[in-house]
Amino acid sequence: MSHQLLDEMRPCVKDAFENGVHDKDTLKSMRHAIICEMNQLGIDKGEIKMHLLEWNDRNYQPFTQNDAKRQLLGYVDWFFGIDKKTGMQRICKLSCRGLQAYCIHPNGGCRFTRKSNNTLPYLKGDACGWLVRNYPKSGIGYSLGLLLSVIIDLWNDKGRPEQLYAGIRTIQTALIHRHNTQLDLMTITRRLHDLAGAGFIAIAHDGVRGEFGYKNSNAYELLPWVPPMEKKCVLHPSHDNALEKAEETHNSGVNALSRINA
């Protein structure tokens, strides 16, 4: 593969392709990324398979010949295959959001990365405090605050995307590492729906298990929540008149009762 084509790849993908990868999760992500990048560069299916076999030899724990045919060459066939749902050729995409964990230029300098201007109209601490105050039952507000804090942190870590893709287990792990708090998966799912009901997030779609053992993560949108204003009771003029009449009736009844008692 020419150096000119290599230089057209995302830096993180180019680095993984040239130097190999050292763990299973990175291999799965970069397998998809390398195929996407080569397809974008106009490299045909057969040549992509050849490059993947060469890449396999550079990896820390390369596949055996049979496993390489199934896990690498088979994945290329799937990539270029027909989507059973649409009956059309499968469309596979690649974004820097999905490669955030492998970025080799996290502080900028990568021409593929776009800086997001997304901001939230509230402070994280204020929102978490509001949840604690308004959901006091059995510590639900506290867990909601921690969960919102984790989601905002993940959103910031991934460059503040329009949609945050994060699995329930990813959120569970983040709760443990960032707040030393462990919640079961069902509780996290329920609390996420509570956050949606309170107007902090929208659940764009639930994750769906895909082929080759992949699972598309849940997608969340952080909403421009503002703390509800305390509602003041403002009476219509007709209500004022009704109150005055009720007060007059009450007073007359009290006076009549005092006369009877006298």
pLDDT per residue over 158-185, tens digit each?
778 788 888 898 899 999 999 999 999 9
Whole-number Å distance between alpha carbons of 126 and 251: 47
Is the pLDDT at 113 greater than 90? The verdict is no
Q: Decide: 31 and 14 in contact? Cβ < 8 Å.
A: no
CA trace torsion 100, 103, 105, 109 (10° rounding): -60
Is the pLDDT at 235 greater than 70? The verdict is no
Mean pLDDT, residues 95-113: 77
Q: What DSSP state is assigned to residue 113?
A: -
Query: Does some domain include residue 7?
Result: yes
45 shares its domain with 128:
no
pLDDT at position 186: 93
Q: What is the pLDDT of residues 23-33, one digit of tens each?
A: 888 998 999 99
Query: Does some domain include residue 108?
Result: no
Is the pLDDT at 240 greater than 50? The verdict is no
32 shares its domain with 79:
yes
Mean pLDDT, residues 79-98: 83
- pTM over cut 0.75: no
- Burial class for 110, CB neighbours closer than 10 Å (0-12, 13-18, 19+): middle
Domains in the chain: how many in total?
Answer: 2
90 shares its domain with 142:
no
Query: Does some domain include residue 23?
Result: yes
DSSP tally for the chain: helices H, then strands E: 11, 5
- When pLDDT is cut at 50, 70 and 90, the band that residue 218 belongs to is confident
> Residue 216 belongs to a domain with what CATH number?
1.10.10.10
22 shares its domain with 83:
yes
94 shares its domain with 151:
no
- Better-predicted residue by pLDDT, 145 or 217: 145
Q: Which of 114-118, 133-137, 229-233 has the lowest mean pLDDT?
A: 229-233
pLDDT at position 159: 76
Query: Does some domain include residue 238?
Result: no
For all residues of the chain together, what is the average pLDDT?
81
pLDDT at position 239: 44
37 shares its domain with 84:
yes
Q: Note down the domain range covering 75.
A: 3-102
| Angle at alpha carbon of residue 163, lines to 160 and 164, rounded to 5° | 70
pLDDT > 70 in the chain, percent:
79
